[in-house]
Amino acid sequence: MTEWYERTGRIAVLTGAGISTDSGIPDFRGPRGVWTEDPIAELLSTYDNYLADSGLRERSWLARRDNPAWGARPNDAHRALVELERSGRGVTIITQNIDRLHQQAGSAPQRVVEIHGNMFDVVCVGCAYTASMAAALERVAAGESDPPCPECGGILKADVIMFGQALDQRTLMKAALAAETAEIFLAIGTSLQVEPAASLCGRAVAAGASLIIVNAEPTPYDSLATEVVREPIGTALPRLVDLILGR
C-alpha cells in the first residue's frame, strides 16, 4: 500500500499561528495568547468597532507599531516548506498568518495565499488607496494619531481581515482550488476552528487528498486525518518534508 508521503501530486499546506510561535510571534487564544492577555486587542480586531471609534483606531496603530512581527525571523518550519517548494513539487501555502514569514523565508510570493491579508500593507476602506504600513506609521510618529486617507479622507486600516469583515473572494477561490487539487494536504499549527480555513481540510479530503495535521491540541478534523502529529512544529515539519522528499 502506498504511504501518504509517497504520493507524487500537488501539495497544499495550510498554516496558522502555531508555525510562527517559534519566531516569537504569540498565538491568539493559547495560554499566553494575544487575546488572552489583552482582551482589548480582540476588540481592536472587530471591523465595526474599528470604523466607529477613532480611539480604538489610535490604539490599533500603536499596536501595529509594537507588533513583534516587525523583528521576527522565519524558523526551521518555514524553511522546510521552502525546501519542499524548491524540490520542484507543486506546493501552495494557504496561510492564516499576517506576518509574511513564509515569503521572508523564501517561499515564492505567488505560491502563498494570505487568506487573512497581511500587516505590512495599508488600505483605505473608502477607495482604492494603498500604502505601506511603514509609511502610515511614519505619519503616526509625526503626530497624526489616526492618519486619514490622503486621496479621499477615509479611514485607513491594515490590509488584514478583521472579525465581521468578508474575506476576499478571489483569494478564497485560490485556496479552495489548491485544496481540491492536492494529493497531500498539510494543516500546520492551526486549531482548525476558524472558517473557511478549517473546511478546506474537508474539501481536500473529499477530493481525495491525504490530510496530515500537525498541531499541539486536538482539532475538529483529526478524525479525517491520515496522520495526526503532536510533536513541536519546528521538528515535525522538517521531518515530514524529509519523508515526502524521500530522504
Under rule CB under 5 A, which residues in 36-95 are in contact with Zn ion?
A: none
Question: For Zn ion, which stretch binds (CB under 5 A), given 73-81, 98-106, 121-129, 220-228?
Answer: 121-129
Piece of the chain touching Zn ion by CB under 5 A; list 76-84, 126-134, 168-176, 196-204? 126-134
Judge contact between 77 and 13, C-beta under 8 A.
no
Looking at the Cβ atoms of 38 and 144, the one nearer to Zn ion is 144
Please report which helix (H) or strand (E) contains residue 114, including its range: strand 112-114
Judged by CB under 5 A, which of 126, 232, 234, 238 binds Zn ion? 126
Task: Provide the grid cell at 46.
Answer: 472587530
**How far is it, in rounded angstroms, from Cα 66 to Cα 69?**
9
Residue 129 in contact with Zn ion, rule: CB under 5 A: yes
108 binds Zn ion (CB under 5 A): no
Which of 78, 116, 157, 203 is catalytic? The answer is 116
Amino acid occupying residue 49? N
CB 50 within 8 A of CB 56: yes
Alpha-carbon dihedral of residues 119, 120, 123, 125, nearest 10 degrees? 20
- Is 102 an annotated catalytic residue? no
- Of 155 and 225, CB closest to Zn ion: 155
Binding characters for Zn ion, 147-166, by CB under 5 A (x = yes): --x-xx-x------------
From the CB of 122, what's the least distance to Zn ion, in Å?
11
Residue burial 36-59, b: 16+ Cβ < 10 Å; e: rest = eeeeebbbbbbeebbbeeeebbeb
Bridge partners (DSSP) of residue 121 are 132
> Does 175 contact Zn ion by CB under 5 A?
no
Residue 25 interacts with Zn ion (CB under 5 A)? Answer: no
Question: How many CB atoms sit inside 10 A of residue 228's CB?
Answer: 17
Q: Provide the mask over 130-149, with x wherever binding to Zn ion is found by CB under 5 A and - wherever it is not.
A: -------------------x
Which long-range CB contacts under 8 A does 221-228 form with residues at least 24 apart? 221/187, 221/192, 225/187, 226/4, 227/4
Q: Does 123 bind Zn ion (CB under 5 A)?
A: no
- Indicate the Cα dihedral angle 64, 102, 107, 158, nearest 10°: -30
Size of the site for Zn ion (CB under 5 A): 8
Listed ranges 23-31, 49-57, 129-137, 195-203: which one lies at the site for Zn ion (CB under 5 A)? 129-137
Q: Which is nearer to Zn ion, 78 or 157 (CB)?
A: 157
Member of 40, 62, 127, 173 binding Zn ion (CB under 5 A): 127
Q: Which parts of this chain interact with Zn ion (CB under 5 A)?
A: 124, 126-127, 129, 149, 151-152, 154
Residues annotated as catalytic are: 116
